[in-house]
Structure 1
Amino acid sequence: MSNVNPFQTFRDYRTNLLSADLPAGLSVFLVALPLCLGIALASGAPLFSGLVAGMIGGIIIGILSGSEISVSGPAAGLAVIVADSIAKLGSYEAFLVAVVLAGVLQLVLGLIKAGRFSSFFPDSVIKGMLVAIGIVIILKQIPHALGRDNDYEGEFEFQQLADGENTLSEIYRAMVTASPGAIVISASALLVLIIWERMASRKVRFFQNFPGALAVVCLGVGLNELFRVVKPDWYMGTTAHQHMVQVPILKPGQSILSIFDFPDFSMLGNPQIYAVAATIALVASLETLLNLEASDRLDPQRRVSSSDKELVAQGIGNMLSGLIGGLPVTSVVVRTSANVYGGAKTRVSAITHGILLLLAVFLGGFVLNMIPLACLAALLITVGYKLAKPAIFQKMYKDGVNQFIPFMVTVIGIVFTDLLIGILVGSVVGIFFVLYTNYQSTFRVVRDGQKVMIKFQKDMYFLSKPQLKEALSSLRPGDTVYVDGNAASFIDHDIFSMLEDYAETARSQNIKYELISITQNKRLIRNHARVRETAVS
């Protein structure tokens, strides 16, 4: 487990800071900025609340996180819950009380070591989740790349609440109404990113040191401003085509405190507050644990994150986010993926992205609002492709049916429903295959003439009863049979009883039948059988 105290080890990060983590943090910032705003819009919350959650997720959770590469922020999976909760509680200020309480619950979950439950998700399901998210990113960003922004940034569900379309029909609408300016910007950005990555892989120093994400943003802004002058119909910043980042700008003379919302603790007497808090805590914790498992698989250094420490960090983050008007936060795969593929090595990149969000709000809003969404869509499409490369499907297929089917069920479930439903369905199928695999390999039967060895290879549960019963029924008169239970530390009562009862059958069929180290509740079976103390090979 990664239980290192970041405050004691920041000095160890300095060698990576400028060369890897700062460019990665910039890449994550550019991806996270429209997502924070889009998720706030979808949640029916103030736009600034998404940016607050992004700052908290980057700076506070980045420092306290149980992972070196996970990045937290507002999550699309909570948008519907947030919107419903605000309507139910009557005000955003009342909802913020629930966010604070949800953070307290997460903190408690971390302290009681509830993070261990993340290990129960099958590996094939986690891999399926990563691939599915990659596919969803690509599908959801195609409309933005074509200049259609009817659906909010960061939306992940197949059925789109914003405009009544679904993922596929939205792409069709975008193709019909495609903007030439957006196409030129997104296509140019994709071309630059491909060339940039190839040159960086060939160790060309400039392309290694200068962030490709920043080059793409500069290209997008430059092309769009060029359109303003030479081709106004292609310009993406008009009222009809407000295809730009839209950071809320602090007006001259406006107090900083005036842009924050604060919880209304007088609502603590409302029982609905606690139900909403529990829902947010459970869903946010589940998403965080799933994303943490996924981030460990993305990490090139294969570090193992502390899920308990992450829950504590998320709890503290949500308490602070709620106190200053932010949305609930979770660990988010999209940001984490952008972080990994941006070359991040440590948590400094996540913290950097949070600091950049902070600076964006108070210093750089005017400049950032010149960025067309088409160039950011190109950035996300490249991240999605890296998550869902065809080679991953080939590898999962070669790993066998018991890995490929849960993997594909998870992918299809997430793409055509949403993240949590897809994970749930994939996990059920994955657990079924785990049980089936264990059932198939709990024991083996070796026959040499009329000598038969039935050797248990692991603990024997009731699921193995039909297969064991079939093996016993295949024995023939005159056989000498040894049932060796040395490798099983637990034998289910049904298995235990069947082995005892078969002694009578063996006697009636002239089968010599012996049990070796077959135990239940730490007592040896001695009825109807002679027990050997050493295994018969």
Structure 2
Amino acid sequence: MFKHIKNDIPASIVVFFVALPLCLGIALASGAPLFSGVIAGIIGGVLVGALSGSKIGVSGPAAGLAAIVLTAIGTLGGYENFLVAVVLGGVIQMVFGVLKAGVIGYYFPSSVIKGMLTGIGIIIILKQIPHFFGYDPDPEGDWAFFQVDGENTFSEILNTINNISPGATLIAIIGLSILLLWDKVLSKKDKVFQIIQGPLVAVAIGILFYVFTQDHEVLGISKDHLVSVPVPEDFSSFIGQFRFPNFSAITNPQVWITAFTIALVASLETLLCVEATDKLDPHKNVTPTNRELLAQGAGNIVSGLIGGLPITQVIVRSSANIQSGGRTKLSAIIHGFLLLISVVLIPTLLNMIPLSVLAAILFIVGFKLAKPALFVKMYKLGWKQSIPFFVTVLGIVFTDLLVGISLGLAVGIVVILLKSYQNSHFLHIEDNSNGKHRIKMTLAEEVTFFNKGAILKELDSLPHDTYLELDVLKTRFLDYDIIEILEDFSLKAKERNIDIKLISKRGIVENPPSYIEFFEQRPKSKLSLS
């Protein structure tokens, strides 16, 4: 784990700066105590990072669960009752892992996963534009198109025009310039610029800018445009920020319903993120998904026990980790310890970081996820890849993550059905001798009930006085529905003077009296032709 520590430490610092405002913002958007987001970030980094089999995934509180948390806290009658649901949700996730439910993540098309990454990249950029210009009316964790304050993504950007903060904008531009200079020029000139990361320098300059301009009439940055970490007065007040579940609420059916909801949504988001981060990983590591569910479940149990929000693996932090050169799980673990140390020892210093500088860092993350070249590449791959991709992107941008992915998956399934419909068989007219049309129909390797319509249409369109060769030599799976169609067609064939020659691995049969009996006389599976 320490083999790539020179890569993991700089990456962990970048992930820390990305994660800190998101932890606080998601807690604010969830209607939960601010410190609960920090707890979830720490547990997601240290505990889940240690237990997970992912080398580059980073876990923490997820924006996708904010609406569920906000509703559940009110429904269950308080945050302590909600924490019971978080603990139970973690237990259910561990059950999912034991039952090997992690395989679900592999059934999402590549085009949908790429669309998810691109959509999230666009969302990151759009959501950070107001913060870049010093306009912060809603929490950093509000990632849905329709926001908690009644605004939407684009109306919030339009509102920014009349609320630009000169100081925040200036330091954001300086920070973005530093990041680009570091990434494109300096990091390639000397190793010292690879060890000291550009985001760290940008944040340090941002703090200095705030300190020296805080009393300036024009360039001064207001308090609401700075990171806002709770500052305890002493050790006892720090401990007092932790909340504990009220287990007397465990008999409430609504608690169990919320727990299952958290487990299902958190598991799905995690599995999708695992699939996406593995695709982004330049070293192509493969994450064991069932172990990931066990790790996430353990993380949610501990997070719920000490007052934290639900945890998932998060693509924003994970992609920031990959882009910053993270190689092993040490990066995620160190980022968790950085969150813990910083909120304990230097909360006052953290509260001097302008959000506009962090927005500049997220701009880079978002752009690398949603590069224009990817849109061109997906378009050139053809409609079977591009349509699910673009539907997923638009769905995420104009709704939210899960809805967008569901839309993309639905379109992907329709594409699969269309491909199955088109590829069920091959029809070839060989000649027209002896007064009969000679037609050869070759069935595909797998023919299911999805292909009923195409095959039935083809058989019904055959003219009278036809000699049909039905070739199933390469067919390994033939659905019973198709066998019934052939059985029914054999009756029609006699009336239309159509002779049928069935070619299979069992031999050649002229006008078989019963297709059902023919295909059922197999030593193995009822529907296996091999």
Normalised by the size of structure 2, how large is the TM-score?
0.92
Alignment-derived partner of residue 406 in structure 1 = 388
Q: Is the 8 A contact 1:514 1:531 kept in 2?
A: no
The gaps in structure 2 that reach 5 residues or longer are 433-437, 522-530
Matched, 1:394 2:379: no
Matched, 1:265 2:251: no
- C-alpha distance in 2, partners of 1:273/1:501? 54
Deviation (angstroms), 1:77: 1.1
Cα distance per residue 1:408-429 (max 9 Å; x no partner): 1111111111111111112111
Alignment-derived partner of residue 235 in structure 1 = 220
- C-alpha distance in 1, partners of 2:237/2:122? 43
Equivalent residue for 2:200, pick from 214, 227, 231: 214
Alignment-derived partner of residue 513 in structure 1 = 500
Equivalent residue for 2:76, pick from 70, 89, 93: 89
Matched, 1:435 2:417: yes
Alignment-derived partner of residue 139 in structure 1 = 126
Q: Superposition pairs for residues 177-188 of structure 1, below 5 Å?
A: 177-188=163-174
- C-alpha distance in 2, partners of 1:277/1:525? 60
Cα pair distance change 1:14/1:436, threshold 3 Å: same
Alignment-derived partner of residue 7 in structure 1 = none
Q: Is the 8 A contact 1:298 1:340 kept in 2?
A: yes
Q: Is the 8 A contact 1:190 1:379 kept in 2?
A: yes
Larger mean Cα displacement after TM superposition, 180-189 or 436-445: 436-445
Alignment-derived partner of residue 4 in structure 1 = none
- C-alpha distance in 1, partners of 2:288/2:3? 24
Deviation (angstroms), 1:449: 2.2
- C-alpha distance in 2, partners of 1:83/1:511? 67
Alignment-derived partner of residue 17 in structure 1 = 5
Equivalent residue for 1:285, pick from 267, 273, 291: 267
Deviation (angstroms), 1:510: 4.2
Deviation (angstroms), 1:88: 1.3
Deviation (angstroms), 1:343: 0.9
Q: Is the 8 A contact 1:228 1:235 kept in 2?
A: yes
Deviation (angstroms), 1:153: 0.7
Deviation (angstroms), 1:385: 0.6
Matched, 1:343 2:328: no
- C-alpha distance in 1, partners of 2:496/2:257? 64
| Structure 1 stretches of 4+ moved >6 Å | 529-533
Structure 1 residue identity aligned to 2:39: V
Q: Superposition pairs for residues 87-236 of structure 1, below 5 Å?
A: 87-161=74-148, 163-199=149-185, 202-228=188-214, 231-236=216-221
Structure 2 residue identity aligned to 1:434: I
Find the residue that maps to 1:234 and give its secondary structure. Answer: coil
Equivalent residue for 1:329, pick from 302, 311, 317: 311
Deviation (angstroms), 1:508: 4.3
- C-alpha distance in 2, partners of 1:487/1:317? 49
- C-alpha distance in 2, partners of 1:465/1:264? 56
Alignment-derived partner of residue 45 in structure 1 = 32
- C-alpha distance in 2, partners of 1:263/1:471? 64
Equivalent residue for 1:352, pick from 334, 346, 350: 334
- C-alpha distance in 2, partners of 1:49/1:525? 73
- C-alpha distance in 1, partners of 2:311/2:501? 60
Deviation (angstroms), 1:202: 3.4
Find the residue that maps to 1:452 and give its secondary structure. Answer: strand
Cα distance per residue 1:421-454 (max 9 Å; x no partner): 1111121111111111122112212333244332
Q: Is the 8 A contact 1:124 1:403 kept in 2?
A: yes
Larger mean Cα displacement after TM superposition, 323-332 or 464-473: 464-473
- C-alpha distance in 2, partners of 1:390/1:178? 28
Cα distance per residue 1:184-241 (max 9 Å; x no partner): 0111111111111112563532322221110111121122223236x343211x4xx4
The gaps in structure 1 that reach 5 residues or longer are 1-12
Q: Is the 8 A contact 1:296 1:304 kept in 2?
A: yes
Larger mean Cα displacement after TM superposition, 399-408 or 448-457: 448-457
Structure 2 residue identity aligned to 1:17: I
Matched, 1:465 2:452: yes
Deviation (angstroms), 1:118: 1.5
Deviation (angstroms), 1:486: 2.8
- C-alpha distance in 2, partners of 1:362/1:527? 83
- C-alpha distance in 2, partners of 1:303/1:457? 35
Cα distance per residue 1:98-118 (max 9 Å; x no partner): 110110000001100111111
Alignment-derived partner of residue 57 in structure 2 = 70
Q: Superposition pairs for residues 490-509 of structure 1, below 5 Å?
A: 490-509=477-496
Q: Identity of aligned pairs, percent?
A: 49
Alignment-derived partner of residue 385 in structure 1 = 367
Find the residue that maps to 2:426 and give its secondary structure. Answer: strand
Find the residue that maps to 1:481 and give its secondary structure. Answer: strand
- C-alpha distance in 2, partners of 1:63/1:525? 66
Find the residue that maps to 1:28 and give its secondary structure. Answer: helix
Q: Is the 8 A contact 2:28 2:141 kept in 1?
A: no
Larger mean Cα displacement after TM superposition, 142-151 or 87-96: 87-96
Find the residue that maps to 2:469 and give its secondary structure. Answer: strand
Deviation (angstroms), 1:507: 4.0
Cα distance per residue 1:1-33 (max 9 Å; x no partner): xxxxxxxxxxxx322112x11111110000000
Alignment-derived partner of residue 364 in structure 1 = 346
Q: Is the 8 A contact 1:500 1:525 kept in 2?
A: no
Cα pair distance change 1:476/1:208, threshold 3 Å: same
Alignment-derived partner of residue 34 in structure 1 = 21
Q: Is the 8 A contact 1:262 1:322 kept in 2?
A: yes
Find the residue that maps to 1:370 and give its secondary structure. Answer: coil
Structure 2 residue identity aligned to 1:175: I
Deviation (angstroms), 1:368: 1.1
- C-alpha distance in 2, partners of 1:113/1:147? 46
Cα distance per residue 1:76-110 (max 9 Å; x no partner): 11111111111111121111111101100000011
Structure 2 residue identity aligned to 1:371: I
Equivalent residue for 1:247, pick from 220, 229, 235: 229
- C-alpha distance in 1, partners of 2:505/2:386? 36
- C-alpha distance in 2, partners of 1:256/1:367? 17
Q: Is the 8 A contact 1:27 1:338 kept in 2?
A: yes
Deviation (angstroms), 1:506: 3.7
Find the residue that maps to 1:266 and give its secondary structure. Answer: helix
Q: Is the 8 A contact 2:2 2:330 kept in 1?
A: no
Structure 2 residue identity aligned to 1:308: N
Equivalent residue for 1:445, pick from 418, 427, 441: 427
